[in-house]
Structure 1
Amino acid sequence: MKTMNGLRVVLGVAVAAVSIGAWAQGGASAGASAGTAASVSGGLTAKAARQANRALRRKVYAALAKHKEIDAGDIGITAKGGAVTISGTVPDASQIDTVAGVAKGVAGVTSVTSRLTVRKPFGQ
């Protein structure tokens, strides 16, 4: 009985070790092919593309901060390859167009998608 339990444990460990090894190899090749695809398609490595997207996002936030009439406290910005998506809430409907216009004026922005909504007063 003890021998049978010992064999089960050894077999379980062996299966787990093989599974982890196969998973690690699959992940490495998938990451390499994704990096190759990114470098071929855009001329940027995946790391450089992420840095460029973060830099563009910071530029849009900075541009919004210069406009004191915009309440950007509940605004989120996502950038990917020059395409900017703005989401969140603003207190006034007029700010939706203002935010989109400011974002379009930032160097490096190729398109702007606005998913902004007007914040409803508490209790309504």
Structure 2
Amino acid sequence: MKAIDGLGVALGVAIAAASISAWAQDGASAGASAGTAVTASGGMTAKATWQANRALRRKVYAALAKHKEIDAGDIGITAKGGAVMISGTVPEASQINTVTEVVKGVAGVTSVTSKLTLQRPFGQ
């Protein structure tokens, strides 16, 4: 009886050791794949990416503010990895092209998508 109990304990220890070893290897491979993902994305964490997008958005707003002929009060800017989307309304049709050109000239902007529309007067 004692031999069977001892064999059961030994078998239990062997199974536990094998599962711990397998879990450790799985964790190592998950860490390796996570490291690969960080390297593939340029080594930026989610927070750093968010900060870079926010900084680019601020640069675009600052560039628009320098152009007094642009009424940027109803313009929204979204930046993601150098791609900038402009949305909102402008009072004059000529400002749509002007805004797009100003945004294209900002350092760090790789592409511009304009969803600007012409502002309609009230009552129309």
Whole-angstrom CA distance in 2 between matches of 1:117 and 1:42: 35
Which residue number in structure 2 is paired with residue 95 of structure 1?
95
Q: Verify the 8 A CA contact 1:39 1:46 in the aligned structure 2.
A: no
Report 1:1-124 matches (<5 A): 37-124=37-124
Whole-angstrom CA distance in 2 between matches of 1:35 and 1:75: 38
Stretches of structure 2 that go unaligned for 5 or more consecutive residues are 1-32
Whole-angstrom CA distance in 2 between matches of 1:85 and 1:34: 30
Over the matched positions of the two proteins, sequence identity in percent amounts to: 83
Cα offset, 1:43, TM superposition: 2.0
**Cα–Cα, structure 1 residues 89 and 40, in superposed 2: closer, same or farther, change >3 Å?**
same
Moved more, 102-111 or 39-48: 39-48
Whole-angstrom CA distance in 2 between matches of 1:35 and 1:93: 48
Stretches of structure 1 that go unaligned for 5 or more consecutive residues are 1-32
Instruction: Output the aligned Cα RMSD.
Output: 1.8
**Cα–Cα, structure 1 residues 35 and 46, in superposed 2: closer, same or farther, change >3 Å?**
farther
Give the TM-score taking structure 1 as reference length: 0.69
Aligned length: 92
Cα offset, 1:63, TM superposition: 0.2
